[in-house]
Amino acid sequence: MPHFNLEIPPLLRFLDNINLGLIAVDKHRNIVYWNDWVSKALGREFDAAQGRPIEQIFPEIQQNKIFQGVVDAVEHQKSVYFSSRLQKQQFPFFADGPDETPLDQRILIRPEDLRPNEGGCFIQIEDISAATRRERLLKERSAALTQSRSYLDSMIHNTTFGIITVDENGAVETMNPGAEKIFNGAASDIIGQNVAPWLPCFKSVASTDVSDFTVGEPWESEAFDATGIATPVELTLSTMVVENRQKIICILQDITRRKEAEAAVIQAQAELETKVEERTRELSEAKDIAERTDHAKTQVLANMSHEFRTPLNAIIGFSEMMESEVFGDLGHDNYRDYATSINSSGAHLLNLIEQALDVSHIESGVQSVQETKFNVDHAVRTCCSMLTMQAEERNVSLSVDIPPETPTIIGDQTRFQQIFVNLIGNAIKYNKQDGGVRVTAVSRPGESLTIRVEDTGVGISSDELPEVLKKFGRASDSYVRAQEGLGLGLTIVQLQAEISDWDFRLESEAGVGTSVEITIPPKKLIF
């Protein structure tokens, strides 16, 4: 066997510079050489190992097949190959770094005469860690790609959307079960055919042309099956290039239910519009009837009030003459009492008729606003003077607190006094024994004027406030019901305030009293 001379310096320099580990062992398995690669990988210099048995320097190899390979090479001239990846056999060499990761190795042990006829072997160690990492990464990426493709295939197979691909000649290349359902046919019967009969939105040409479509944007179209039955679909197109050939991906969604729902909505909307028109017409007719009825009622009320007032004035006048015995003694005191009763009842009835007549005049638009400048304090005190006797009869105190700086009102004084005669009269009528009524005014320069009538009467519950503000409306309290009246006082107040462009506000609490405010805007005041 030719020998390998390790005493030639150029050869040693060459061996130190190759990217392989080399260990030379004599026939006694003593290490006679290793190169710089081994020193770096092991972290030990050759001098510390020279002449020592290999199993002393690398005791680990006695537990694996590398030591037996050295024995076979030295004693039986056999070459042995090991791979750390396959046989899990390796020397204790580690990569650079804090983790000291073992190097993946490819090991070749071959017999070699280091001196003539003395036997021995060479151990060649190749670091295949990088190749192993590349192979591992390649396997991982291949597995991930396989998993992704499997996931994508599963998703395409199980989605309810139809997905087909069309080649550059317009032929169907692939289709999923969702597309089979939309086209009502098997993929094997459709793949290879031109897409135009199934999707007429495509041109029946030899090459695919998507210039008429908005790529990436969904739009509505129709898909046909082999029998010519159409299914409404929402179609989205996208393009891709595979091996320099253009492909079109068609994603289809069956929108039959959506179209049915849209049609149902349109029909329901049309029916609703028809019903609304009918109801509007009915309401308009009912409104016209109500307005005509209300107008007729107002007219009748005005006529009746006028007709009642004339004979009542005669009754009141004649009863006053009888009570005063203008033409002589009546002859009996009872006749005088009867005359007084006739006069009092007639006056009360005339007041009720006057109220009804006022309401009818206001609602019919007969009354007009006659604006003048008038003093608030004087107007309020005039109203109070008309009601002094009524207050005294009920033992109700009546006070007025109008500051001197209160602005002058520009408005209809008659309406103003009619409002406050009603408000103060109600405050007296529905008051408690020994109760009180107070009229006050509050204003600031340039702001509105508020005139308030407060009483300590029976009050009104919050539930009944809406009722008393209605025409002929009255509270259910027994004391209130016992008082005479039609329930038109607050109606007249509201109507007169509205005509005069004044604000009306009512607050009340049962058992405590009532507060009513009339607010006049700055434009109707002189400061």
pLDDT of res. 360: 58
Q: Same fold for the domain at 9-127 and the one at 369-526?
A: no
HEC profile of 273-318: HHHHHHHHHHHHHHHHHHHHHHHHHHHHHHHHHHHHHHHHHHHHHH
Q: Which CATH architecture has domain 9-127?
A: 2-Layer Sandwich (3.30)
CATH code of 159-254, in short, is 3.30.450.20
Question: In the chain, what are the domain boundaries?
Answer: 9-127, 159-254, 259-362, 369-526
Please, which residues have CB within 8 angstroms of residue 158's CB and are 6 or more apart in sequence? 177
Q: How far apart are CA 88 and CA 106, in angstroms?
A: 10
- What's the pTM value of the predicted model, to 2 decimals? 0.39
Q: Where are the alpha helices (DSSP H) in 43-128?
A: 54-57, 65-76
Q: How far apart are CA 360 and CA 307, in angstroms?
A: 14
Q: What is the mean pLDDT of the chain?
A: 82
pLDDT of res. 261: 92
Q: How far is CA 117 from the centre of its chain?
A: 95
Q: How far apart are CA 165 and CA 158, in angstroms?
A: 17
pLDDT of res. 458: 87
CATH code of 369-526, in short, is 3.30.565.10
Q: Are 428 and 514 in contact (CB under 8 A)?
A: no
521: amino acid identity, one letter? P
Task: From first to last of the 527 residues of the chain, give the pLDDT tens digit.
Answer: 455 566 667 777 888 888 899 999 999 999 999 999 999 888 889 998 999 999 999 998 888 888 999 999 998 999 999 887 776 777 888 766 445 778 888 999 999 887 777 789 999 999 888 888 888 899 899 888 888 888 888 888 888 899 999 988 889 999 999 999 999 989 989 999 988 888 888 764 444 455 555 566 888 889 998 888 999 999 888 888 888 888 888 999 999 999 899 999 999 999 999 999 989 888 888 887 877 766 655 555 555 555 565 666 667 766 676 667 766 676 666 666 666 656 555 555 655 566 555 555 665 555 667 899 999 999 999 999 889 988 998 899 999 999 999 999 999 998 899 899 989 998 998 898 889 999 999 998 889 999 999 999 888 888 888 777 776 555 544 444 444 444 566 877 888 898 889 999 999 998 899 999 999 999 999 98
Q: Contacts from 304-312 at CB under 8 Å and sequence distance 24+?
A: 305/353, 305/354, 305/356, 305/357, 305/360, 306/357, 308/349, 308/353, 309/350, 309/353, 309/354, 309/357, 312/346, 312/349, 312/350, 312/353
**Tens of pLDDT, residues 400-414:** 999 999 999 999 998
Which helix H or strand E contains 139, and what residues bound it? helix 129-158
Closest CA to 41 of 124, 106, 100, 88: 100
Which helix H or strand E contains 349, and what residues bound it? helix 333-364
Closest CA to 169 of 147, 196, 144, 148: 196
